[in-house]
Amino acid sequence: MAKRNLIFVISLMSVAMLGLIVLQFYWINEAVEERTEHFRQEIGEVLTTVVKRIEHQEAAFLTRQQVDDNIKLSDNLRSVDYDSAGNARWTEQQRLRIKRTFSSDKLTQQGFAYQVEEEAVIKRSGVARKTPIQDLNRNDLRLEQKMDDISKVVPDSSHSAKDEELAYLTKIAQKTNFIDMILRQMVMMEDKDIEERVSFNTLDSLLKQETSSRGITTDFNFAVKHMEGKKASIVYCSNDNQQADILKSDYNIRLFPQDFMDSKNTLFVHFPDEGAFILQKMGAVLGMSVVFILLTLCSFVFAVMTIIKQKRISEITNDFISNMTHELKTPISTVSLACEALLDPDIQKIPTMQNRYLNVIKDENNRLGMQVEKVLQIARLERQNIKLKIVKTDLHNLINKAVQNAAIQVENRGGAIETDLQAADTLIEADEVHMTNIIHNLLDNANKYSPEVPQISIKTENKDGGIMLMISDNGQGIPKESVGKIFDKFYRVPTGNVHNVKGFGLGLSYVKHIVDAHLGQISVKSKVNKGSTFTIYIPLKHGEN
């Protein structure tokens, strides 16, 4: 694949992947916002329900009080006897008690008592307002007239028709009076302090009940703020440390909104872990979304890396084939020329010339065999089929032998190899042949990649139960972008159109495999045009690292 096409494909895939991720995060954000709005609606319903329940509890309390006041009258009504014709039989005592209960004098006294209390409240507050009690008192006038009518129909002797009418009107008067008294008490409750109308524990209990019933299990704090003109005071607060946050909460509602006068008390509820709770509720969906996004992203990255790797392998393979063709073509051409020379009758008559060409053929054949063996060695290393012959050997002896073989080529170029063998413990467990080969390969590379007079140094020292072997040169160095690739199979540092150094790109790959097989480590430091230093660590014992 051409480089331009590869860039286009990767760019297109990247745009598609980015679009999918952005779209997924958009839907996740929409889901979170929808869940947040649902949470807010539920809290609004919670506050509304709590306020209604508080009002109902207050009404129920006042009703129970009124029921207690009228319980005797109810007993009287339930104890009426009836004759065989279904007519009520009232006793004189029951008639007198009904008259006393619903006499206009008593109703007038109750209305007057409420009126006095209402006027006292107005004086204390200093605020002029229309009093609901006055409206109720006007209703009392109509009720008093009704009671007069009831009194007039109460008989002095037993009469079934009049008894039934009396019972009917008495029940109406009783219910009217009952509701009237409850309403009066509810009106008067408006001027009581909020602590007298609802307790801290009641608020806390109702809020917990309503939130729990809707599946809202996160912690909350609440407060009640009382406003008197421009002056504000905190009546209740469940957490003084977070009072400021509570009073800034959007979740608030007026207490006792059905009061005749505007309510001065506001309930605030704050959820410190609201965001975490909403995300927790969406945990499964969000978790799966994140997992699939990561899987898709990892798959995309893996695909791109595979494409790039395959392209690089393709390029390296093409370079290897090209290098191998040149490497094999030279000895084949030389052997072909030597064979043609040997077929020449004149050459056949000269034994010395004949032997010379035969030696050329032998050398080139050995060279071909060595090149093929390198490729086979790498193939065996890749399949982990190589078998090391581990023996105790002196690393310094192996270094000295390799230096003697390489010194001739280095000295022919006017260079030199310096040794600084400082390691005291030099006996290692290693394969002598492969260990010698990796030293020779590193020395050969140091010589080949030194464009001018090669200056090579070898140094050893003991460290961490092993030997450090360092081979340095003053060659052309390795660019930073290629340092991490030089141990890859078939890789060669790019040199443009200059092919003055022959090879398959297998030397350093072979070195890396052999070092790893000896449980060692290899690293390189290099600067362009200043040289490179290869450092190898080999443990003294093959089973240790």
In a domain? residue 287: yes
CATH code of the domain containing 345: 1.10.287.130
Average pLDDT over residues 1-9: 75
Q: Does some domain include residue 344?
A: yes
Predicted confidence (pLDDT) at residue 126 exceeds the cutoff of 60: no
Asked if 201 and 232 sit in the same domain, the reply is yes
Does residue 65 belong to any structural domain of this protein?
no
For residues 327 and 333, what is the distance between their CA atoms, to the nearest angstrom?
11
The confidence band for 529, taking pLDDT boundaries of 50, 70 and 90, is confident
Whether residue 288 is found in the same domain as residue 270: no
User: What is the phi/psi pair of residue 497, to 5°?
Assistant: -90, 5
**Residue-level pLDDT at 107:** 41
Most confidently modeled range among 137-141, 175-179, 325-329, 332-336: 332-336
Q: Are residues 463 and 432 in the same domain?
A: yes
Q: Which of 75-84, 132-141, 182-191 has the lowest mean pLDDT?
A: 132-141
Q: Which domain holds residue 210?
A: 3-57+195-281
CATH code of the domain containing 470: 3.30.565.10
Looking at residue 271, its pLDDT comes to 92
* Residue 148 included in any domain: yes
Q: Do 359 and 423 belong to one domain?
A: no
Contact 377, 423 (CB under 8 A): no
Are 104 and 211 in the same domain?
no
User: Mean pLDDT across the stretch 409-431?
Assistant: 89
**Domain annotation covers residue 114:** yes
Could you tell me if 415 and 441 lie in one domain? yes
Give the residue with greater pLDDT, 260 vs 23: 23
Q: Is residue 229 part of a domain?
A: yes
Rounded distance between C-alpha atoms, residue 93 and residue 73, angstroms: 12
List the structure tokens of 306: 């595979």
Per the listing, tokens 């006499």 go with 103
545 in a domain, yes or no?
A: no
Whether the pLDDT of residue 355 is over 80: the answer is yes
pLDDT of residue 401: 87
| Pair (93, 108) in one structural domain | yes
Provide the mean pLDDT of the chain.
75
Residues 208 and 223 in one domain: yes
283-343 vs 274-281: helix axis angle to the nearest 10? Answer: 70
Question: Residue 342's pLDDT is what?
Answer: 85
352-363 as b/e: b if 16+ CB within 10 A: eeeeebeebbee
Among the ranges given (144-158, 167-181, 310-324, 501-515), the one the predictor scored with the smallest mean pLDDT = 144-158
Token pair listed for 66? 């009124």
Residues 89 and 161: their CA atoms lie apart, in Å, by 10
Total domains in the chain come to 4
| Candidate from 31-35, 176-180, 347-351 with smallest mean pLDDT | 176-180
Collect all residues with Cβ–Cβ distance below 8 Å to 421 and sequence separation of at least 6: 396, 399, 458, 459, 460
Measured CA to CA, the distance from residue 104 to residue 112 in angstroms comes to 12
Last residue of a domain, one of 234, 260, 281: 281
Q: What pLDDT, in 10s, does the model give residues 41-63?
A: 999 999 999 988 888 887 777 67
**Residue where a domain terminates, one of 336, 356, 380:** 380
Query: Which pLDDT band holds residue 468 (cuts at 50, 70, 90)?
Result: very high
Same domain? 375 vs 495: no
**Are 434 and 500 in the same domain?**
yes
Indicate the residue among 333, 361, 380 that finishes a domain.
380
Average pLDDT (265-284) is 87
Over range 419-443, report the average pLDDT. Answer: 89
Which amino acid is located at 286 in the chain? L
The verdict on residue 63 lying in a domain is no
- Mark whether 397 and 534 lie in a shared domain: yes
Q: How confident is the model at residue 340 (pLDDT cuts 50, 70, 90)?
A: confident
395 and 525 co-located in one domain: yes
More confident of the two residues 9 and 154: 9
Q: How far is CA 169 from the centre of its chain?
A: 73
Task: Output the pLDDT for position 125.
Answer: 46
Distances (CA, A) of 516 to 337, 397, 446: 43, 21, 21
- The backbone region for 481, taken as left when phi is positive above 0, alpha when psi lies in -120 to 50, beta otherwise, is alpha
Q: Which two tokens stand for residue 67?
A: 């029921």
Residue 369's Cα: distance from chain center in Å? Answer: 60
